[in-house]
Chains A and B, each alone.
Chain A
Amino acid sequence: MNSDLTRATAAELADALATKTVSSVEVTQAHLDRIAAVDEQVHAYLHVDAEGALAAARSIDERRAAGESLPALAGVPIAVKDVMTTRGIPTTCGSRTLEGWVPPYDATVVTRLRAQGMPILGKTNMDEFAMGSSTEHSAYGPTRNPWDLERIPGGSGGGSSAVVASFQAPLAIGTDTGGSIRQPAAVTGTVGTKPTYGGVSRYGLVALASSLDQAGPCARSVLDTALLHSVIGGHDPMDSTSIEAPVPAVVEAARNGDVSGMKIGIVRELGGEGYQPGVRARFDEAVQLLVDRGAEVIEVSCPNFDYALAAYYLILPSEASSNLAKFDAMRYGLRILPDGVDDPSAEQVMAASRDAGFGDEVKRRIILGTYALSSGYYDAYYGSAQKVRTLIAQDFERAFAKVDVLVSPTAPTTAFRFGDKLDDPMAMYLNDIATIPANLAGVPGMSLPSGLADEDGLPAGIQILAPAMRDERLYTVGAALERALADRWGGLLIDRAPQLDASMVKGA
């Protein structure tokens, strides 16, 4: 293992902790030191809980010293997206509305991390209420991409992708409503999985669009992603949409990684025009590596994917406008009294508070959703979008009757510069074009690095999609590809990310 503990994988750290080669306090402190050294540049954390993390680490070290048998990831620290409630740790969802809110309960995912004995380093930045693809919609300022500090780290989970890419945490929790785990992974050279809908509990995940939201793991390797997936997944009676079945055998699949005889489908509609040449080139090479390892590749068509973006940007705002109605300035969150009104009514206070507490993108989507759900327009917009959703699910069914997994580039481009798409909402939405179909149908998807694009030297990602409840196939294919690429590169792509230490910044 690397002598710098922040460069180690979660799997390596777990082994070293189990054999008492290192303590959890040492590992946790190393990451806190790294955060102190580089997060001023990256701005990936909204809150760092040094005291809480070290206390959890000390407790695990004591239990291990006492000879207790501990879970696999006990003592390995983690960062959590700020959309998951954490008891005693502020949770803002990147919004002014929730500035300073300290939830009185833990999300089930957080409960599981604590039960596993994983110190929580802090909460990661995100687009407000997970609406965005760049973190530029965070009320607390954007996170910077560790590969190029002038560029976006993806979104909405840009904080989670950036903390793992900048070695400020070995693991992070993300959430993915239309690509918010996968697109950030792609543009930061990291790995992320959106599990099957219902595979990970949504209890305590502040809802954006309840029928699309899914929490999942973010890491630097396929095996680490699988280890975290297996810890947070599984049935939860607190979530009525939680699947009552064991977590698919993702860790075994990631260790095995044998794709010989597997059928892999390239989705004709997710590629070609609109995709950056360097992204396409790395994708084509990655597919060839899978062929070299014994997979059979065919092209499949999912014709209704062409309507997925339009359907998504009706279904999501509709559900969001309903979910965000709870921010009413009455029980928690920001309360603002309207200017120049004596004895304002609850309704006036509500409207003033929501205007002050929500950012532009959140307001746009709430208004759009309100419109799509209005009587007179419901059938034309929301109703039609729901029918398109059926067509997309049917496209997946037909495709998975022919192949074991589908692949595509994760995002059409590498990381763009801050401000490039901020004034053009539709251009921003197009980032999600390849990731959205999986959320609409509820199937699992993973992004892992495919290499650096020639034209800008920035990371590109490949997306793998599998049928519902067959999440393990993502890890089989992901592990095979990761090994083939690591053989070629002499290590993981992330090893080539800028160091971000003081000397590098001066030299840049």
Chain B
Amino acid sequence: MSSLTRDDVAHLAVLARIDLSEAELDRMVGELDVILGAVAKVQQAPIDGVAPMSHPLPLTNVTRPDVVRPSLTPDEALSGAPEVEEQRFSVPRILTED
């Protein structure tokens, strides 16, 4: 069983978009390693040839008639936004300059 390194956790934190502090990283490496060791038990179960189950119910596609129905007003939709401009969500830059 491969164990998690501090670099692994730092990389996962980047993927998960969480800016962990150095102290958080130090603590989490050990904690996650213990949890991973415990949950790896699934690999010992008699799972050879068993179909995976993603959901408790047989899922079927659900559609509705394509008609307008009541929905949020623009003000309601924007009511929780950290920043609003011209009736739109205002966000930080998404591209690097130049």
Task: From known contacts A329-B82, A335-B83, A355-B20, infer whether A367 and B13 are also in contact, taking CB-CB under 8 Å.
Answer: yes
A226 touches B (CB below 8 Å)? no
Contact mask for chain B residues 34-47; partner A; CB cutoff 8 A; 1 contact, 0 none: 11101111111111
State which residues 33-66 of B face A: CB under 8 Å: 34-36, 38-47, 50-57, 59, 61-62, 64
Comparing A61-69, A140-148, A338-346, the segment that makes contact with chain B is A338-346
Q: Which residue from chain A places its CB closest to the CB of B73 in the assembled complex?
A: A104
B67 touches A (CB below 8 Å)? no
A345 near B94: Cβ-Cβ < 8 Å: yes
Q: Which residue from chain B places its CB closest to the CB of A393 in the assembled complex?
A: B53
Size class of the contact patch on chain B: 35 or more
Of B24, B50, B77, which contacts A104 at CB under 8 A? B77
Interface of B is mostly: loop
Task: From known contacts A332-B81, A333-B80, A335-B82, infer whether A388 and B39 are also in contact, taking CB-CB under 8 Å.
Answer: no
CA distance A243 to B77 in the complex (A): 29
B72 near A331: Cβ-Cβ < 8 Å: no
Q: How far is the CB of A306 from chain B (nearest CB, A)?
A: 8
Q: How far is the CB of A328 from chain B (nearest CB, A)?
A: 7
CA distance A380 to B2 in the complex (A): 11
Contact mask for chain A residues 424-455; partner B; CB cutoff 8 A; 1 contact, 0 none: 01100100000000001111000000000000
State which residues 1-26 of B face A: CB under 8 Å: 4, 8-9, 12-21, 24
A301 touches B (CB below 8 Å)? no
Task: From known contacts A313-B35, A314-B42, A390-B53, infer whether A351 and B83 are also in contact, taking CB-CB under 8 Å.
Answer: no
CA distance A346 to B89 in the complex (A): 13
A370 touches B (CB below 8 Å)? yes
B40 near A310: Cβ-Cβ < 8 Å: yes
A237 touches B (CB below 8 Å)? yes
B79 touches A (CB below 8 Å)? yes
CA distance A374 to B51 in the complex (A): 20
What is the number of contacts between chain A and chain B, taking CB atoms within 8 Å?
178
Contact mask for chain A residues 458-471; partner B; CB cutoff 8 A; 1 contact, 0 none: 00000000001000
Chain B residue numbers with a CB within 8 Å of A240 are 59, 61-62
B50 near A367: Cβ-Cβ < 8 Å: no
A366 touches B (CB below 8 Å)? yes
Q: Which residue from chain A places its CB closest to the CB of B51 in the assembled complex?
A: A390
A307 near B41: Cβ-Cβ < 8 Å: yes
Chain A residue numbers with a CB within 8 Å of B31 are 364, 425
Contact mask for chain A residues 237-271; partner B; CB cutoff 8 A; 1 contact, 0 none: 10011010000000000000000000000000000
Contact mask for chain A residues 309-338; partner B; CB cutoff 8 A; 1 contact, 0 none: 111011000000100010011111111001
List 16 additional A-B contacts (Cβ < 8 Å) besides A354-B17, A374-B15: A102-B79, A241-B59, A314-B42, A329-B82, A354-B16, A364-B32, A368-B35, A368-B36, A374-B12, A381-B42, A384-B43, A390-B52, A390-B53, A393-B53, A425-B31, A440-B56
Interface of B toward A, CB cutoff 8 Å = 4, 8-9, 12-21, 24, 28, 31-32, 34-36, 38-47, 50-57, 59, 61-62, 64, 72, 76-77, 79-83, 89, 91-94, 96
Q: List 19 A-B contacts (CB under 8 A).
A: A102-B80, A104-B79, A241-B55, A309-B38, A310-B41, A314-B42, A332-B82, A351-B18, A355-B19, A366-B18, A367-B16, A370-B15, A380-B43, A381-B42, A387-B50, A390-B50, A426-B34, A426-B35, A443-B56
